[in-house]
Amino acid sequence: MIVVRDCSRAAELQSAMRLGCIAGFILMVAFAGFGLAGCGPVVTPSFDSPEPAARNASIVQAAETRDKGSVGDLVKMLDSDDPATRVLAIRTLERITGETLGYDPHADATARAIATRKWHAWQDAQGVDGGRK
């Protein structure tokens, strides 16, 4: 923790810290462009992947593009054991369709199953495919 006793220097110090943060961010972005930012594996978005990170990346991608073609896959993701996947899926469905149909990603399994059935009925009424193969 930095304690500044001279108030006239406090603004100068804050400005320097901001510049340091900005410079750090610029360097991070620059290195990311060269593939040097991460040491971990590359995540390839896929709804069918056994890896939660890949499934979640697909959900985020669908949210960003508001991909109506992914609705069937998103409904499948409502049954995930991973709470983060369920949250991402319902928020993306809401973004794409404007609906939640009462689905609560934090509810118990029985309540989630009831709401998921509503989503399946919605899919049938809309003529939405059950998900990509």
Least confident of 26-40, 48-62, 102-116: 26-40
Contact 73, 129 (CB under 8 A): no
Whether 56 and 36 map to the same domain: the answer is: no
Decide if 21 is inside a domain. Answer: yes
Q: Do 120 and 66 fall within a single domain?
A: yes
pTM of the model: 0.68
Same domain, 57 and 122: yes
Band the pLDDT of 5: cuts 50, 70, 90: low
CA 81 to chain centre: 16
Higher pLDDT, 65 or 133: 65
Q: Looking at residue 61, what is its pLDDT?
A: 96
Task: Provide mean pLDDT across the span 26-47.
Answer: 62
104 in the same domain as 59: yes
Q: What is the pLDDT of residue 40?
A: 74
Contacts 24+ apart (CB under 8 A), 123-129: 123/71, 123/72, 123/75, 126/71, 128/71, 128/72, 128/75, 129/72
* 71 pLDDT higher than 80: yes
